[in-house]
Amino acid sequence: MINIALFGAPGSGKGTQSKLLLEKYKHTYISTGDIIREEIAKETPLGKIVKEVVDKGELLTDEIIISIIEEKIKKGCKSDGFLFDGFPRTVAQAYKLDELLLKTGMQISCVISLDVPQEELIKRLTGRAEKENRDDDKNLNVIQHRIDEYEKKTAPVADFYRKQNKFYSIDGIGTIEDNFERIDVIIQQQIFNRKDAKTQKNDKDCRKMS
């Protein structure tokens, strides 16, 4: 089982790349952005709280996000793996995710970050606002705040996974196809390493028995 976390600031292309990864790997998809928008659209009690936070360009509290993610992991624990889009966003969330996965004998395989310059992010987000009529992409001050929040709170998460040798950064500038190929190379290497480790273990077990 390969569990992937896809990183990137708002407008980096995580959503687009996630769709392509799901087509190829059929993982259980957990997108905090999709969950949040669904709650807001349904005008649930949680959705109303979330909307106030999102409208300010701020991140949700760890407690709210973790409670949502935990439920999703329980429902999808029998799949071929998880694809996390936009999670974890803080070190506290990263620790909690490791804990939740460990309970089911799993772990994060790799964390892949799409790196895109700020000016390009802003250009993409304002363009998306016109095409998709998304309120959270219309206000430049909110956009800038969202990017700043991402960089401030997510940079330590990158260091958390670097220490585990699980963090990979790729250039997010290029065609959709180019970016997907860069991501897929990393995932294929994870799959190969996993198979190789399993083969080595089997060989070792056979030697013990002989």
Q: What is the pLDDT of residues 42-78, one digit of tens each?
A: 888 878 888 888 787 777 788 888 877 887 887 766 6
Per-residue pLDDT at 209: 35
Report how many domains make up the chain. Answer: 1
- Between CA 142 and CA 10 the distance in angstroms is 11
Per-residue pLDDT at 178: 96
Which pLDDT band, with edges at 50, 70 and 90, does 198 fall under? low
Q: What is the CATH number for 76?
A: 3.40.50.300
Range of the domain at 93: 4-209
Global confidence as pTM: 0.80
Which residues form the catalytic set? 14, 89, 128, 134, 146
